[in-house]
C-alpha cells in the first residue's frame, strides 16, 4: 500500500491528501481558529465572480473549500489511477491524471461547498445600533454631565456588551454626577440625552426628547 501511495504516478494525489490531513490536524488542536476566517474577502469576490460562486467560495469559509478540493482531487486521482491500472495494466502519467482529476474535482467541490454551507453554523453578530441604547440606563463614569457639557457614561446593550457614550441631561434637568445613573431618552447624533433617575421627574422632559433619532 505504501509503495502504491509513493509511486510517481500517485504522488500528486498523496500530497493533496496529506495536506488535507495536516489542515484537519491543525484545526483539531485549535491552532487554525483564525484560518477559517480566510474568507473575509471571499464573500465579496464570490459576489463579483460567477466562477468563484460556482466553486462555492463565499458559501463556506475558504479553508473548508480548500480542504474539500484537496480531498476530492486526491480521492478522484487515486481512484482513476487504480482504474487505469486495472484496465491498462499500469497507472497513467501524473501529467495526464492530475489535470483530469482536478477538472473532475472542481464541480464536485462547488456542490459539496454549497451543501456544507446549508448545514454548517454561521457566524452571528451581537453588534447593535446606537438607537437601540435609547431606553437603557447609563452610569456616568467620568465627570459630571450638565446641559451643554456632556460627560462620558457606560451603558450595556441587550447582549450585555458595554458601550461608552456621551450623555448630557435634559434642558430642565440638573447635573448628573459621576457614579449616578440616567435613563437615556433620546439621541442626537453621537450625543445621548439622559434623565437622572434621582433628579427631575418625567414631566420635565422637554421637546428635545421627542426629536427624531438621527
Task: Report how far residue 120's alpha carbon sits from residue 21's, in angstroms, rounded to the nearest whole number.
Answer: 20
End-to-end Cα separation, the chain, in angstroms: 69
Q: Which residues, other chains included, contact 27 with Cβ-Cβ below 8 Å and sequence gap of 6+? A: 35, 36, 63
Which CATH superfamily is 130-210 part of? Nucleic acid-binding proteins (2.40.50.140)
Res 14 pLDDT > 60: yes
Bridge partners (DSSP) of residue 151 are: 167
Band of pLDDT at residue 190, cut at 50, 70 and 90: confident
Range(s) within the chain of domains with CATH label 2.40.50.140: 130-210
What is the three-class DSSP state of 74?
Answer: helix
Band of pLDDT at residue 110, cut at 50, 70 and 90: confident
Task: Report how far residue 116's alpha carbon sits from residue 191's, in angstroms, rounded to the nearest whole number.
Answer: 44
Question: Phi, psi (5° rounding) for residue 153?
Answer: -135, 160
Instruction: Please report the pLDDT score of residue 7 as a whole number.
Output: 79
Band of pLDDT at residue 49, cut at 50, 70 and 90: very low
Q: What is the pLDDT of residues 146-186, one digit of tens each?
A: 888 899 999 988 878 888 899 998 877 788 888 898 899 88
Give the burial string for 39-64 (b: 16+ CB within 10 Å, else e).
Answer: beebeeebeeeeebbbbbbbbbbbbb
Mean pLDDT of the region 38-61: 47
Render 83-152 in DSSP notation, one character per residue. HHHHHHSSPPPHHHHHHHHHHHHHHHHHHHHHHHHHHSPPP------GGGGTTSEEEEEES-BBTTB-EE
Band of pLDDT at residue 39, cut at 50, 70 and 90: very low
Whole-model pTM? Answer: 0.46
Q: Please say whether the beta carbons of 186 and 213 come within 8 A.
A: yes
Amino acid at each position: 500500500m505504501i509503495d502504491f501511495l509513493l509511486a510517481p504516478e500517485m504522488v500528486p494525489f498523496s500530497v493533496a491528501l496529506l495536506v488535507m490531513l495536516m489542515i484537519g490536524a491543525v484545526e483539531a488542536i485549535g491552532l487554525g481558529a483564525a484560518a477559517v476566517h480566510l474568507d473575509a474577502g471571499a464573500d465579496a469576490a464570490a459576489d463579483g465572480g460567477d466562477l468563484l460562486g460556482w466553486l462555492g467560495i463565499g458559501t463556506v469559509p475558504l479553508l473548508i473549500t480548500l480542504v474539500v478540493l484537496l480531498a476530492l482531487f486526491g480521492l478522484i486521482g487515486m481512484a482513476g489511477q487504480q482504474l487505469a491500472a486495472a484496465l491498462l495494466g499500469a497507472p497513467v502519467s501524473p501529467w495526464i491524471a492530475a489535470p483530469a482529476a482536478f477538472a473532475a474535482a472542481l464541480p464536485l467541490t462547488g456542490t459539496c461547498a454549497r451543501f456544507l454551507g446549508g448545514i454548517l453554523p454561521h457566524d452571528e453578530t451581537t453588534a447593535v445600533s446606537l438607537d437601540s441604547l435609547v431606553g437603557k440606563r447609563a452610569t456616568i463614569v467620568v465627570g459630571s454631565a450638565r446641559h451643554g457639557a456632556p460627560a462620558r457614561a457606560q451603558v450595556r446593550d441587550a447582549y450585555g456588551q458595554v458601550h461608552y457614550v456621551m450623555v448630557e441631561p435634559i434642558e430642565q434637568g440638573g447635573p448628573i454626577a459621576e457614579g449616578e445613573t440616567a435613563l437615556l431618552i433620546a439621541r442626537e447624533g453621537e450625543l445621548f440625552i439622559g434623565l437622572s433617575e434621582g433628579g427631575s421627574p418625567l414631566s420635565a422632559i422637554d421637546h428635545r426628547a421627542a426629536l427624531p433619532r438621527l
